A and B are shown apart, each in its own frame.
Chain A
Amino acid sequence: MNSNSIIKLFFYVILVFCLLSCKQENSINEKDAKYSLYILAKDGREYMLTSNTLDSGMLKPETDGAYLDPKDMDRDVFVKNGFFYHLNRKTNRFSKFKLEDWKLVTTGFLDIKDFSIENFNWIGKDSLMLTGLNLSGYNHSKYIFINTVKMEVIAQGDMEIPAPFGHYTTLSIGFAEKKGDALLVGYTYHTAHGVSSYLTSDTLYVSELSYPQMKLLRTQKDMRSTYPGGINTIQSYNFKDDRGDYYFQSCPGIALGNHPDLPTGIFKIKANEKKIDQDYFFNISASKIQNHAYGMWYLGGNKAIIRSERKDLFKGLGDHYSTAHFEFYILDLLTQSVTKLNLPLDKGTRRECVIVEGDIAYISVNSTKSGNYIWLYNIKTGELKKGLQLGGDTDFIMRIDRLKD
């Protein structure tokens, strides 16, 4: 063996050790990781990544992530306490997963027939309420309570929400919020014409149901905007502030309600009331944003962040998701002031893209020009800086979640 081949051998040994130790380090991270990131790669593959920090570093889905089988997983997955929950709409199976050795492993499941999730709400540490519609027609409102430790159904049935009437064929439930012995449910109606066109009612409805019987007590109509909230397994549209006041946004833009002549707005239900505050309406489209918005997250105090489209930058639904045109604005819910964040334009029509921790809001941005990054916004100082980069094959950061509270 000459000195050259000894050097080569030495190099290979070092390389193998490096690879082994890297893998080892990641597997420790995977178990105790604080955050999960759902990535859609350029080749259409999807990956789940985990990280202990969003502040810095670089991850590549194809080498650092768990490959997700498209038959089992989609991005309407929600996360709590280290577990992932997902309803497979083709198999009707609602499963609980955890990450183990770069795979999502099923730890429990139950079958929910003829159900399409519109909203999920944690009503206790291990108690989950799903509200939704019948898969067979999207015209009938249903609920289900699940014990997520045993993965068993506690109760299920119909919600007494008035079915579509007149020329309406389906409905969309945009939020469900428990208030004492009542459940407030926001929704609107649609007329669907085939697969590529539909109309939405110009009115949004909030029904008060008895809880947990789900019997209709009263319904409030509001015509200031339409399409309240949205499907919260994909993106957030509402929150309760520090005082207990509940805010939800409407989404009449083409990406959700398709009633773009009505403004995107924010509505409020006061802490001690069960009705929409008629004196409050934050008209987003009439503010300096001058566009429709989809997606809203609470930052604490009077502050929230909203994700709005740029109608001058996309042509229609065909390029709404693929063109980078989304902007982020900081809203003051009381003074109704609006401040634009100096971030690159973001792509992806709907994404769960904000995590708030103390004074820092982590915002994931998919920029066509400057890459996919988690940005750190300091809520106190207004400072913005780049954090974790998603490199390699990353096309879209579809969602970021806190794995453990």
Chain B
Amino acid sequence: MNNQLLEKYHLNTCTAEERKMVEEWLFNTDVDGLDTVSLPENKNDIKQAMWRDIETVMPEVIKPLPKRSSIYFMWKGAIAASVFIAMAATIAYFVFANRSIGQADLVELNNPSARYVKHIDATGYDVAVGPNTIAKINNNDGMIDLTGSMLISPKKDINLVFEGTSKKVTLLKGQTYIILKNKTGVKSIIVISERNLMDLPPVMQKQLSAQFDI
């Protein structure tokens, strides 16, 4: 079998005899045993020849990296440590600074306006404070002192206790609550999920949806 014949076969220019020969060769599944005896003698020559061939198609040889000195490793360690410390310090700064500013023990949510709702994005919750509302929330013990109305969406579950009463409520993350309190006493406190808005008297419901745009 030779290359010319195979090429002719693929170009479809063989004679019938040649075609038969090629096909016999192609479809023959018998494999001659490999002549492994002659190999070891020329092994090194073959290897050399192979490497020479390979070198012609290989990209330029990459020079080995110079050996790093121990000073280099010392600096590398020092820089990594500095970066790590700087990052840790930054994270710590934001975590603790936020706590001391955004999560101050006492958050005042006052809205002296007689008409407009005031929106506040606090660390633990989003709040819309209704007109003429005075409110304080103690983030430590969840104590809330409120006169007026607010719409609150906690970013995590929070517990609130109404100052001067034993009324406790748990507000769930992801839900929006309407909190109303006008007079003193537990009876005047209303804490209701926005989904239960329609349980409130329609007159209040209409006022609330107009005020808070819900």
Residue B139 at the A interface, CB < 8 A?
no
Contacts of B103 in A (CB 8 A): none
- Contacting pair B132 A318 (CB below 8 A): no
Residue A176 at the B interface, CB < 8 A?
no
- Contacting pair A316 B187 (CB below 8 A): yes
Contacts of B131 in A (CB 8 A): 194
- Contacting pair B199 A198 (CB below 8 A): no
Given contacts A192-B203, A194-B207, A316-B189, 15 further A-B contacts (CB under 8 A): A172-B203, A194-B130, A195-B204, A196-B149, A196-B182, A198-B201, A198-B204, A198-B207, A230-B202, A257-B201, A258-B203, A316-B187, A317-B200, A317-B201, A348-B199
CA distance A44 to B193 in the complex (A): 8
Q: Which of A68-76, A237-245, A279-287, A297-305 contacts B (4 or more CB under 8 A)?
A: A68-76
Contacts of B209 in A (CB 8 A): 89
Residue from the list B130, B193, B203 in contact with A170, Cβ < 8 A? B203
- Contacting pair B198 A254 (CB below 8 A): no
- Contacting pair B203 A44 (CB below 8 A): no
Residue A321 at the B interface, CB < 8 A?
yes
Instruction: Report A's interface with B, CB cutoff 8 A.
Output: 40, 43-44, 46, 70, 74-76, 89-90, 116, 135, 138, 170, 172, 190, 192, 194-198, 200, 230-231, 234, 254-258, 315-318, 320-322, 348-350
Contacts of A321 in B (CB 8 A): 192, 196, 199-200
- Contacting pair A318 B189 (CB below 8 A): yes
Nearest 4 Cβ contacts at the A-B interface: A321-B199, A349-B199, A316-B187, A196-B180
Residue B49 at the A interface, CB < 8 A?
no
- Counting residue pairs across A and B whose Cβ atoms lie within 8 Å, the total is 91
CA distance A385 to B196 in the complex (A): 29
Q: Bin chain B's interface residue count.
A: 20 to 34
Contacts of A315 in B (CB 8 A): 186-187
Residue B156 at the A interface, CB < 8 A?
no
CA distance A317 to B204 in the complex (A): 11
* A316 CB to nearest chain B CB (Å): 4
CA distance A138 to B132 in the complex (A): 22
- Contacting pair A320 B199 (CB below 8 A): yes
Contacts of A197 in B (CB 8 A): 182
Residue from the list A90, A170, A258, A349 in contact with B206, Cβ < 8 A? A170
- Given A315-B186, A318-B192, A321-B192: A195 and B208 interface contact (C-beta under 8 Å): yes
- Contacting pair B199 A70 (CB below 8 A): no
CA distance A254 to B199 in the complex (A): 11
- Contacting pair B190 A317 (CB below 8 A): yes
Residue from the list A46, A231, A320 in contact with B202, Cβ < 8 A? A231
- Contacting pair B198 A234 (CB below 8 A): yes
Residue B14 at the A interface, CB < 8 A?
no
CA distance A170 to B202 in the complex (A): 11
Contacts of B172 in A (CB 8 A): 43-44
* B171 CB to nearest chain A CB (Å): 11
* Identity of the chain B residue whose Cβ is nearest the Cβ of A351 in the assembled complex: B199
* Identity of the chain A residue whose Cβ is nearest the Cβ of B149 in the assembled complex: A195
Contacts of A349 in B (CB 8 A): 199-200
CA distance A257 to B130 in the complex (A): 24
- Contacting pair B206 A116 (CB below 8 A): yes
* Identity of the chain B residue whose Cβ is nearest the Cβ of A133 in the assembled complex: B206
